[in-house]
């Protein structure tokens, strides 16, 4: 059986790895072992942060809704509780977008909530 030397395959694998590690600092973009470690860490962070992004967006939406509702004189928690009681099924993403892009329609929902509070 013929002897297989792995130089070409290893070189190809290393080139692919170093291509993925481009733009990194120090030895992480030049040497294979640090580049492999950096790439593995980067993939781990990417996996973790894809999930983290969802909670960060939710926090952003809540902050925007809270800011817009406090300008109208209602706290975030009271607004959400009153909307739930009134049967308004808008999620936080839509409410935050409405608060930023269309304050008049957002104000209508706040007035609806204030009207419910005044009647009860």
Does the pLDDT value for residue 92 go beyond 90?
Answer: yes
Does the pLDDT value for residue 93 go beyond 60?
Answer: yes
The rounded mean pLDDT for the chain is: 92
**How far apart are alpha carbons 26 and 86 in whole angstroms?**
59
CATH of residue 105's domain is 1.10.1900.20
Structural domain includes residue 1: no
Tell me the two tokens of residue 66. 């809270």
CA distances from 32 to 6, 19, 25, 41, 69 (A): 16, 11, 13, 14, 54
| Number of domains composing the chain | 1
Q: Which range marks the domain in which residue 36 is found?
A: 7-119
Structural domain includes residue 25: yes
Q: How many helices (H) and strands (E) does the chain have?
A: 5, 0
Encode pLDDT of 34-77 as tens digits. Answer: 999 999 999 999 999 999 999 999 999 999 999 999 999 999 99
The DSSP letter of residue 23 is: T
């Amino acid at each position: 059986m013929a002897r297989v030397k792995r130089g070409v395959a290893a070189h190809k694998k290393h080139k692919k790895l170093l291509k993925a590690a481009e733009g990194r600092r120090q030895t992480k973009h030049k040497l294979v072992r640090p580049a492999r470690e950096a790439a593995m860490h980067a993939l781990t962070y990417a996996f973790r942060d894809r999930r983290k992004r969802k909670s960060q967006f939710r926090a952003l939406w809540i902050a925007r809704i809270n800011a817009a509702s406090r300008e109208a004189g209602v706290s975030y928690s009271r607004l959400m509780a009153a909307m739930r009681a009134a049967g308004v099924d808008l999620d936080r993403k839509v409410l935050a977008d409405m608060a930023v892009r269309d304050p008049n329609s957002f104000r209508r929902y706040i007035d609806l909530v204030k009207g419910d509070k005044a009647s009860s």
